[in-house]
Amino acid sequence: MTLSRRSFLKGILATSAATLVGPSLLSAAFGSETAGTWKVSGSHWGAFRARIYAGKVQEIKHFEADKNPTDMLKGIKGILYSPSRIRYPMVRYDWYLKRQKSDTTLRGNNRFIRVTWDEALDLFHQELERIQTQYGPWALHAGQTGWRQTGQVHSCGNHMDRAIAMHGHSVKKVGDYSTGAGQTIMPYILGSTEVYAQGTSWSLILENSKTIILWSNDPVKNLQVGWNCETHEAFAYLEQLKEKVANKEIKVISIDPVRTKTQNYLGCDQLYVHPQTDVPLMLAIVHTLYKEKLYDEKFIEIYALGFDEFIPYVLGAGDDKVEKTPEWAEKICGVSADDIRGLAHLMAKDRTQMLFGWAIQRQQHGEQPYWLGAVIATMLGQIGLPGGGIGYAHHYSSVGVPSTGAAAPGAYPRNPEREENRIHKNDDFKGYSSTIPVARWVDALLEPGKKINANGATITLPDLKMMVFSGCNPWHHHQDRNRMKKAFHALETVVSIDFTWTATCRFSDIVLPACTQWERNDLDLYGSYSSRGIIAMHKLVDPLFQSKTDFEIFTLLAKKFGQGEAYTLGRSEMDWVRKIYDDCAEANKGKFDMPDFDIFWKEGWVDFGQGKPWTRHADFREDPEINALGTPSGFIEIFSRKIDRFGYDDCQGHPKWFEKIERSHGGPGSDKYPVWLQSCHPDQRLHSQMCDSEEYRATYTVQGREPIYMNAGDAKARGISDGDLVRVFNDRGQLLAGALISDDYPPGIARIHEGAWYGPVDETIGSLDTYGDPNTLTMDVGTSQLAQATAANTCLVEFERFTGKAPEVMSFGGPQEIS
């Protein structure tokens, strides 16, 4: 060492540096290392065993009982250890200084400060107080839902609802983004939501159906995930179906604009139909069945109402004076008149099972295809027969796998036990609605006080000032991102509780770090609709950084207003896990043997076995009087008097064809924006969950962006090669995506999976999204005045090859590529 350096260091008083030094971060180590332990846990993607060593999840392998584990298990470590994790409570800096007077246009500028949990919860509580006292319950909306994480004790929506309810009243929602239209209309037609109901067992379909119509339905893609811990039992049936298709025992037709993952797996037929034109196709099928007397008159007579009021519309005696012939339909839907007739003949010929997916009802007038599907099924007269009739959920959470009949474990109580526990009793909503259709909250922000029709009621959109999101990412699932961005300015305070920096968190004022489902003890139903068993969710590691469980977060909040004891009912986390298990065992007493909790916890699960095959609507078919449907009349309602009386022009007394605001292939708007953008559920995520798993995302991104699947001809015409960066745009917004050319996509059709994390270049409106969030482009309108539901699949775009320097992806916490 040179002398000058040594003397330089000497010159620095050790004391001056020493006095600036804080307490040590290290302490004496104690405790010996175990060899590593295996624990059990679950997820939307299925159950697994994890090896824990040195305080870390080292390895994950699928649970033995799962015979068809999904590849997505590989993404779990990437969620747990994601650099996108929210590590500390954070408050938006400008909001911290100015509270409700903050510059809300700055939301999304990424400038936060860290606060302690105590301070964060004080702020949260103070805001709840201010809203209740300065405004009233109409100004607070804490009811939006997402797919949360799994686990019944820590169900994040329940905790948010409970804590908020213990403080005061607030605006709630009805419906959800997945099935808003379907779940609203189907009770009028078949007497239940149908989308959240068990369906005819797969085994009965395989044994009895001669024809299966997969109408806009991709079960092979969607059954990878489940609302509860997914068992993937349905895949065994799909494997059998594949064989039967190959042996020509069953004919499967996928009616879909694109070649789906299911079609490719089964090797089945496809009937291409122009996007958003299924209704003309269906009306023409009805026409054919009627004219050629291929329909079951007797069945209609006994089980349905309103056929005679509906059929004139099909025959050209309705207001539009248009006969819904196959020739008429052909011009709109792109299916030849011969093929339409052929399809009607096929469906009428033998036992036919219709299975609808959900994407088709996420378009403008999404109520119509579901209604018409039921009408066709009614005309075929096979509702209630094994392998006949219609299902609306066989792609979802083990529907079709027979229910064991076992009682499922309950969840953390979402409602306070006693009204006395509520601090603010004020339930005067001052003329605003206390419940709104879930997807109309942005409308509320833009036009408070506006009256809209919804499902027979008049909704007065409330003047919202504060929103709370718990495990919910509207900055993924809501449409028209730029419209939303503008609307968001109207909120004074936004609180988000999540474990990862979703766009919702980036655009919030108070961000509270929840931990993942693998950092807490819990239990879950194994197999949502099958009730196959109960799975233990052992805490794999302690909550990382400063994150906390949902249970703890909301207990601490409740303590702020003196309701801590009432919130927990005196129970700890493990007490609750035990209690929910014990209550479930009690409910199953005499029917299903459940071991003591400690044995269950050690073993990792309880197996209820297999259920008995079952046919949907069979009891109704057997006796429509005793087993009446839940419709107003008790019968299938082809014509609904109730809906008719609402007087809505966009959802009338019987199913109808309504032209869309924008539609490709010759429809409105297609000259300006010729491509239909389909934004269905992703193949390698659960909505937006797991998008932040860096390694896993890298397996499907194109130049680091979400893929846009497109037709080869469309690409060529625009000078786009496979793997190019593409700017996708319309009047509502713009995004960057990576081109993936595929034969599965016909001309004029492109797909970007929803759940792609929004990462705009900056917080301005119209800012280019760097990752590929399709909701930058979608339209924010209600399906109709009936359901006011999400209409994401009514969307036209154009795209072009992106030239110039591409902005880096802004959505995630992963490190920048160091050049």
Partner 1 sequence: MGEQSIEPSGLYETRASLYWWFSTLLTRELDEDQLARYTTGAGRALLDDLSEDPKFSPSVDKINRALAQIGPMEHPALELAADFAELFLMDAKAGASPYASVYQPDGGLLFQKPHDDMVALLKSQGLAVEARFNEPADHIAIQLDYLGNLIIKEGSQVSPAQATFIEQHLLSWIPQFVKSTEKVKNTGFYQGVCQLMLDFIELDHEEILAA
Q: Which of residues 797-816 bind partner 1 (CB under 8 A)?
A: 808-816
CA 129 to chain centre: 32
Nearer to partner 1, 99 or 242 (CB): 99
Q: Does 1 bind partner 1 (CB under 8 A)?
A: yes
- Cβ-contact 128, 494 below 8 angstroms: no
Only segment of 86-94, 141-149, 207-215, 406-414 that touches partner 1 (CB under 8 A): 86-94
Q: Does 87 bind partner 1 (CB under 8 A)?
A: yes
Least Å distance, CB 80 to partner 1, is 8
312 CB-near residues (< 8 Å, 6+ apart): 318
* Residue 327, number of CB atoms within 10 A of its CB: 13
E strand map for 488-635: 493-498, 510-513, 522-526, 533-537, 605-607
Least Å distance, CB 693 to partner 1, is 9
Only segment of 105-113, 460-468, 481-489, 723-731 that touches partner 1 (CB under 8 A): 105-113
Least Å distance, CB 809 to partner 1, is 7
Nearer to partner 1, 213 or 505 (CB): 505
Least Å distance, CB 772 to partner 1, is 15
Nearer to partner 1, 110 or 721 (CB): 110
Q: Does 3 bind partner 1 (CB under 8 A)?
A: no
Closest of 530, 531, 527, 548 to residue 539, by C-alpha: 548
Question: To which residue do tokens 């300065």 refer?
Answer: 134
Q: Which of residues 41-60 bind partner 1 (CB under 8 A)?
A: 54-56
DSSP letter (8 states) at residue 497 = E
# binding residues, partner 1 (CB under 8 A): 63
- Mapping DSSP onto H, E and C, the string for 80-112 reads HCCCCECCCCEEEHHHHHHHHHCCHHHCCCCCE
Nearer to partner 1, 34 or 247 (CB): 34
* Residue 59, number of CB atoms within 10 A of its CB: 14
139 CB-near residues (< 8 Å, 6+ apart): 131, 462, 463, 464, 465, 466
Nearer to partner 1, 58 or 572 (CB): 58
Which amino acid makes up residue 788?
A: Q
Task: Give CA–CA dist 701/694, Å, rounded.
Answer: 10
Least Å distance, CB 729 to partner 1, is 24
Please name the helix (run of DSSP H) or strand (run of DSSP E) that holds residue 206, with its range, or none.
helix 202-208
User: Which of 70, 82, 150, 397 touches partner 1 by CB under 8 A?
Assistant: 82
User: Which of 62, 68, 81, 316 touches partner 1 by CB under 8 A?
Assistant: 81
Task: Give CA–CA dist 456/459, Å, rounded.
Answer: 9
Q: Which of residues 15-34 bind partner 1 (CB under 8 A)?
A: 15-22, 24-30
- Cβ-contact 211, 250 below 8 angstroms: yes
User: Which of 3, 35, 626, 818 touches partner 1 by CB under 8 A?
Assistant: 818
Tell me the Cα Rg of the chain: 28
User: Which of 45, 48, 95, 96 touches partner 1 by CB under 8 A?
Assistant: 96
Least Å distance, CB 84 to partner 1, is 5
Nearer to partner 1, 26 or 626 (CB): 26
Nearer to partner 1, 84 or 145 (CB): 84
Least Å distance, CB 58 to partner 1, is 10
Nearer to partner 1, 97 or 717 (CB): 97
Least Å distance, CB 66 to partner 1, is 25
Least Å distance, CB 339 to partner 1, is 50
Nearer to partner 1, 412 or 812 (CB): 812
Least Å distance, CB 778 to partner 1, is 25
Q: Does 35 bind partner 1 (CB under 8 A)?
A: no
- Cβ-contact 505, 88 below 8 angstroms: no
Task: Give CA–CA dist 150/44, Å, rounded.
Answer: 6
390's tokens: 């219609």
- Cβ-contact 737, 708 below 8 angstroms: yes
Least Å distance, CB 57 to partner 1, is 9
DSSP letter (8 states) at residue 133 = I
Nearer to partner 1, 278 or 692 (CB): 692
- Which is it for the CA torsion 629, 634, 638, 643, positive or negative? negative
Q: What's the first-to-final CA gap in the chain, in angstroms?
A: 34
User: Which of 396, 501, 639, 758 touches partner 1 by CB under 8 A?
Assistant: 501
Least Å distance, CB 694 to partner 1, is 6
Q: Does 11 bind partner 1 (CB under 8 A)?
A: yes
SS3 category, 606: strand
DSSP letter (8 states) at residue 164 = H
- Which is it for the CA torsion 122, 125, 127, 130, positive or negative? negative
Least Å distance, CB 509 to partner 1, is 14
Only segment of 104-112, 187-195, 325-333, 634-642 that touches partner 1 (CB under 8 A): 104-112
Q: Which of residues 656-715 bind partner 1 (CB under 8 A)?
A: 694-695
Question: To which residue do tokens 């997945």 refer?
Answer: 178
* Residue 176, number of CB atoms within 10 A of its CB: 19
Q: Which of residues 515-574 bind partner 1 (CB under 8 A)?
A: 544-546
- Cβ-contact 166, 422 below 8 angstroms: yes
Least Å distance, CB 127 to partner 1, is 19
Closest of 205, 249, 213, 209 to residue 613, by C-alpha: 205
Nearer to partner 1, 733 or 814 (CB): 814
Residues making contact with partner 1 (CB under 8 A) = 1-2, 5-6, 8-22, 24-30, 54-56, 77-78, 81-85, 87-88, 90, 93, 96-97, 110-114, 501, 544-546, 694-695, 808-816, 818
